[in-house]
C-alpha cells in the first residue's frame, strides 16, 4: 500500500451539489479528513439550482479511494453520478498507435508508398540487404519482448497482463528517444521457443529489448540471442537497472566523499537485476561486495549454487561471510537492494558505517522504510516517485538504444554500459549534486542525448544522420 496519496491511484468523482451554500468546502473537508488530496475541482455544468462538478482526488490505494467515495456519499444534498479511475481511463484502448510518416492523399503518393513503387525498394534491398536499415523502419525500431513471467513486482501474470506494461515501455521509447518500439508478448515460457520466436522476428527490428522475463531463464535467453543475432540484445531489467544504479552510486559517493574501490557494499538480490548490477560495479572498480539471497550470503561453501550463483560466489565475498543480510549490512558503507519488501529496519541501517548510502529499490515497497533509512543514512534512493532519488530505468534505456541504433551496433558491451552510466552521472552538475539529488529527473532534456552520445562513441559509431 502506498504510504501517501499518489496520482497512480487518483480518481475523478462527478457530483451534483446545490448551487449555493458551502457544498464545495464540505467536499474538500471530507476528502482531507479521509486522508485524500483534492488536486483539481472543475465545474462541469452550472444551473440556478445545482452545479455538476468533477473533483479529482489523489488516494493511497483502491480501498482508500472507496472509503473516500463512501464518505462523500454521506453528505446531505449531494449526489454522486460517476466515479472514474484516472489510471484505467488513460489505458482505455491502449496507450500507443501506429502512424504513417508519409502523406497518402493522392494516387501518386499511394503508388510510391505502396504498389507498384514499393517493389523497386524491395528489389533494392534484395540486391543489397544492408539497405534495409536505410530504407525501412528497422533503422529506428526496437522489439520489446516479454513472456509475462516477472512483470514489475507482480510476478508471473502472463502475456496479456504484461501488455499494458510493454505498451508503456514503447511509449517511453518514443517520448524520450524518438524510437518506434513494439510490444511483443509471447504466450510461452519455454526458453527454446522464446529464443526461436525472437530470432525469426528479428529482421524487422534494429534492436531487441528483453523485458520482465524471470531469472534464470532470462540469462540463457539473452546469451543465446546475442550469439544468434546481428542486432543489439539488451535486457532492461538487468542492464538498464545496472546503468542507473552505477550512475546513482557514483554521485552518492561524491556526496559522502568516498571511493567505489574502497567502500564495503552489501547487496540483497541475486537475480537478474542483482547479478547485472554486480557485474557492472565490479567492472567499474568495486572490490568489496557481499551478495545475499533468501538463504543468506552467497559464498563458495554453499551447496545450492547454480551457475549464476557460483559466478557471484567466485567474484565476491572474499572473506567467506556465511551469515544473513543483517550481518552483511552491519559496518557496510553501501546497501543495494533489488529483492523484497521490509527485510531491513532502521536499526539495521543505523549499524552501517558513517555516511551510509542506501538504495532500497524493491517496488512498490522497498527493502527498508525510506523514512527510517533517512534517519541514519546520508543518501537514500528508492524506485518510487514519491521520494527523492528515484532510480528509474527510463533514465537509461531510451538513450542506450538511441546510441545503439545510431551507431548501427551489432551488440552491447560492458564498455557501452559503463559509458552510459558515466554520462548519466555527469548530467548532475557539482552545483546541483546533493543528498536528495544524485540522479537527474527523467524529464531532464540532456539525459537521453548524453547517454546516447556516450553509447554511440563507445560503439564506434558516428553522429545520427538522416537518409
Catalytic residue annotation: 114, 169
Tell me the DSSP string of 179-236.
Answer: -EEEEEE-S---HHHHHHHHHHHGGG-SEEEE-S--TTHHHHHHHHHHHH-SS-EEEI
DSSP state of 333: S
C-alpha angle 414-415-418 in degrees, rounded to nearest 5: 85
**CA–CA distances in Å: residue 96 to residues 51, 99, 382:** 36, 10, 28
Dist CA 374 CA 397 (whole Å): 29
Dist CA 312 CA 319 (whole Å): 14
Q: Do 171 and 97 contact (CB within 8 A), yes or no? A: no
- Please give the backbone phi and psi of residue 80, each rounded to the nearest 5 degrees, phi first: -90, 120
Q: Residue 272: which of 224, 236, 245, 296 has the closest Cα?
A: 236
Cell numbers 536499415 correspond to 133
Dist CA 467 CA 449 (whole Å): 20
Cell numbers 464540505 correspond to 26
Give the torsion sign (CA, 81, 85, 88, 89). positive
- Please give the backbone phi and psi of residue 138, each rounded to the nearest 5 degrees, phi first: -55, -35
Give the torsion sign (CA, 325, 331, 336, 342). positive
- In the Cβ-directed half-sphere of 301, how many Cα atoms lie within 13 Å? 9
Give the torsion sign (CA, 258, 264, 269, 273). positive
Q: What's the gap between Cα 221 and its chain centre?
A: 20
Take residue 232 and report the three cell numbers written for it.
543489439
CB atoms within 10 A of CB 196: 14
Question: In terms of DSSP bridges, do strands 233-235 and 379-382 run parallel, antiparallel, or are they unpaired?
Answer: unpaired
Amino acid at each position: 500500500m502506498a504510504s501517501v496519496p499518489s496520482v497512480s491511484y487518483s480518481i475523478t468523482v462527478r457530483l451534483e451539489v446545490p448551487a449555493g451554500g458551502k457544498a464545495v468546502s464540505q467536499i474538500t473537508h471530507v476528502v482531507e479528513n479521509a486522508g485524500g488530496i483534492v488536486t483539481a475541482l472543475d465545474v462541469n455544468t452550472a444551473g440556478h439550482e445545482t452545479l455538476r462538478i468533477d473533483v479529482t482526488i489523489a488516494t493511497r490505494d483502491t480501498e482508500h479511494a472507496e472509503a473516500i467515495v463512501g464518505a462523500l456519499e454521506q453528505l446531505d444534498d449531494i449526489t454522486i453520478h460517476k466515479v472514474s479511475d484516472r489510471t484505467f481511463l488513460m489505458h482505455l484502448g491502449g496507450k500507443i498507435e501506429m502512424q504513417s510518416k508519409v502523406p497518402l492523399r493522392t494516387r501518386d503518393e499511394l503508388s510510391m508508398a505502396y504498389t507498384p513503387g514499393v517493389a523497386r525498394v524491395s528489389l533494392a534491398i534484395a540486391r543489397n540487404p544492408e539497405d534495409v536499415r536505410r530504407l525501412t523502419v528497422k533503422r529506428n525500431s526496437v522489439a520489446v519482448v516479454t513472456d509475462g513471467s516477472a512483470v514489475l513486482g507482480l510476478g508471473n501474470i502472463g502475456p496479456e497482463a504484461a501488455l499494458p506494461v510493454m505498451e508503456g515501455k514503447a511509449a517511453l521509447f518514443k517520448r524520450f528517444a524518438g524510437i518506434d518500439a513494439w510490444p511483443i508478448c509471447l504466450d510461452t515460457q519455454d526458453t527454446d521457443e522464446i529464443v526461436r520466436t525472437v530470432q525469426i522476428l528479428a529482421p524487422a527490428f534494429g534492436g531487441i529489448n528483453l523485458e520482465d522475463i524471470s531469472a534464470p531463464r532470462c540469462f540463457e535467453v539473452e546469451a543465446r540471442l546475442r550469439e544468434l543475432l546481428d542486432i543489439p540484445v539488451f535486457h532492461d531489467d538487468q542492464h538498464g537497472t545496472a546503468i542507473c544504479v552505477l550512475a546513482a552510486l557514483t554521485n552518492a559517493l561524491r556526496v559522502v566523499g568516498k571511493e567505489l574501490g574502497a567502500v564495503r557494499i552489501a547487496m540483497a538480490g541475486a537475480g537478474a537485476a542483482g547479478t547485472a548490477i554486480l557485474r557492472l560495479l565490479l567492472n567499474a572498480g568495486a572490490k568489496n561486495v557481499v551478495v545475499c539471497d533468501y538463504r543468506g550470503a552467497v559464498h563458495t561453501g554453499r551447496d545450492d549454487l547454480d551457475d549464476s550463483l557460483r559466478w557471484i560466489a567466485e567474484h565476491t565475498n572474499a572473506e567467506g561471510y556465511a551469515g544473513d543480510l543483517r550481518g552483511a549490512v552491519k559496518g557496510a558503507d553501501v546497501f543495494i537492494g533489488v529483492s523484497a519488501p521490509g527485510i531491513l529496519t532502521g536499526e539495521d541501517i543505523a549499524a552501517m558505517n558513517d555516511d551510509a548510502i542506501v538504495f532500497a529499490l524493491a517496488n512498490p515497497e522497498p527493502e527498508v522504510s525510506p523514512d527510517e533509512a533517512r534517519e541514519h543514512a546520508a543518501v537514500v534512493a528508492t524506485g518510487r516517485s514519491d521520494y527523492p532519488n528515484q532510480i528509474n530505468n527510463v533514465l537509461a534505456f531510451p538513450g542506450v538504444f538511441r546510441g545503439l541504433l545510431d551507431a548501427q551496433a551489432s551488440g552491447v558491451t560492458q564498455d557501452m554500459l559503463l559509458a552510459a552510466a558515466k554520462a548519466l552521472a555527469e548530467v548532475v552538475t557539482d552545483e546541483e549534486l546533493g543528498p536528495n539529488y544524485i540522479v537527474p529527473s527523467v524529464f531532464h532534456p540532456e539525459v537521453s542525448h548524453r547517454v546516447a552520445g556516450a553509447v554511440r562513441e563507445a560503439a564506434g559509431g558516428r553522429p545520427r544522420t538522416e537518409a
